[in-house]
Amino acid sequence: MQDEPQLYDYLPSIDRPKIHWPGAARVAVWVAPNIEHYEYDPPANPVRTAMPRPAPDLNWLTLRDYGNRAGVWRMMEVMDRYAVKGSVSLNVGVCDHYPEIIEACVERGWELFSHGVYNTRYLHGMDAAQQRALIQDAKDTIYKASGQPLTGWLSPALSNNPDTMELLSEADVLYTADLMHDDQPLPVKLNTGKKFISLPYSLEINDYTCLVLKRMTPRRYTEAIRDQFDQLYEEGADNPQVMCIPLHPWLIGLPHRVREFDETLKYITRHDKVWMATGREIAQWYATHHYDNVSRAIAARKD
């Protein structure tokens, strides 16, 4: 084991090159629904147990099933209302199990990126060949379902190995959402010679951490999202920022929460210096306009 990720160098927020977004936006906002499949009876992983009870853990399972039957459709309705495109953190198995969900995403021009095959299959313990097979599976499955290339990655249940990013970059993936170290995209240090970007995701305003782990009420949660937005919007006047709203249909799509989601998007989209974008759009913009410049600034740092 190593004592730090060795994926990036220190670049303090107050001492770095300025970046810019289309339309002189202060904040690029991307909404990332995690559309997932959790297996009824998942295989054992040496490091991690999928659910608290022996299968079938209905409390755990059917809430997630509810997300795919009801929650995801409610989310789409809300996002359509504010013309917000999703960037789907996708368990690609969903393409096989529930193709109608994928068709609805594709119709809306949403981005599909990979969140593994199932949320009950972790990368923990996989060797490089197994991870390559998983990445290739994601690539093929997303392409077949949507015609889209695989541009981004969020590891299933955020399970990573030290070599995972290297393998993603080898496979021409452009961005990862697994690193929480910044509010701007940044280059990731790899040996592939290719551009590979960490795109800000969030565990601070993720509905899973807020609603499940921190047990926030729907109003307290969306207040946190608005506070986050207000602060980044202010700071973005000086150096533009990224804000991700990571969501799960089985949490935000429930009847007692979906109205608050509506209020949140209404609030954010009425600001004029916001770039409502997909993960791919932000990553590609950054790769084209800022990646080299920021990489040089990092390389030149002495402290």
Span from 122-130, 187-195, 222-230, 232-240 in contact with other proteins (CB under 8 A): 122-130
| Binding flag, residue 162, other proteins (CB under 8 A) | no
| Binding flag, residue 248, other proteins (CB under 8 A) | no
Residue selected from 20, 48, 53, 144 as contacting other proteins according to rule CB under 8 A: 53
Check if the beta carbon of residue 25 is closer than 8 Å to that of residue 81.
no
Token pair listed for 107: 């119709």
| Binding flag, residue 117, other proteins (CB under 8 A) | yes
Of residues 183-222, those binding other proteins (CB under 8 A):
215, 217-219
| Binding flag, residue 8, other proteins (CB under 8 A) | no
With left for phi above 0 and alpha for psi between -120 and 50, is residue 116 left, alpha or beta? left
Residue selected from 6, 49, 130, 136 as contacting other proteins according to rule CB under 8 A: 130
Instruction: Tell me how far apart the alpha carbons of residues 57 and 59 are, in angstroms, rounded to a whole number.
Output: 6
| Binding flag, residue 63, other proteins (CB under 8 A) | yes
Query: Which is closer to other proteins, CB of 147 or CB of 255?
Result: 255
Q: Which long-range contacts (CB under 8 A, 24 or more apart) does 133-141 make?
A: 135/167, 135/168, 135/171, 135/173, 136/171, 137/92, 138/92, 138/114, 139/114, 139/171, 141/92, 141/93, 141/95, 141/96, 141/117
Residue selected from 129, 147, 272, 300 as contacting other proteins according to rule CB under 8 A: 129
Residue 33: CA atoms inside 13 Å, Cβ hemisphere, count?
29
Residue selected from 5, 8, 55, 226 as contacting other proteins according to rule CB under 8 A: 55
| Binding flag, residue 255, other proteins (CB under 8 A) | yes
Q: What phi and psi, each to the nearest 5 degrees, are found at residue 90? A: -110, 120
Instruction: Tell me how far apart the alpha carbons of residues 177 and 115 are, in angstroms, rounded to a whole number.
Output: 10
Token pair listed for 293: 């410049």
Shortest Cβ distance from residue 209 to other proteins (Å)?
15
Span from 27-35, 116-124, 148-156, 199-207 in contact with other proteins (CB under 8 A): 116-124
Instruction: Tell me how far apart the alpha carbons of residues 84 and 277 are, in angstroms, rounded to a whole number.
Output: 8
Residue 164: CA atoms inside 13 Å, Cβ hemisphere, count?
25
Residue selected from 8, 73, 208, 267 as contacting other proteins according to rule CB under 8 A: 73
Give the pairing of strands 197-198 and 241-247: unpaired
Span from 92-100, 168-176, 266-274, 288-296 in contact with other proteins (CB under 8 A): 92-100
3 state DSSP class of 81: helix
Residues that contact other proteins, how many (by CB under 8 A): 51
Task: Return the ∠ at Cα 140 (arms to 136 and 146), rounded to 5°.
Answer: 145
| Binding flag, residue 259, other proteins (CB under 8 A) | yes
Of residues 19-48, those binding other proteins (CB under 8 A):
37, 39-41, 43, 45-46
Shortest Cβ distance from residue 267 to other proteins (Å)?
17
Q: Return residues touching other proteins (CB under 8 A).
A: 37, 39-41, 43, 45-46, 53-59, 62-63, 65-66, 68-70, 73-74, 93, 96-101, 117-118, 121, 125-127, 129-130, 133-134, 215, 217-219, 254-260
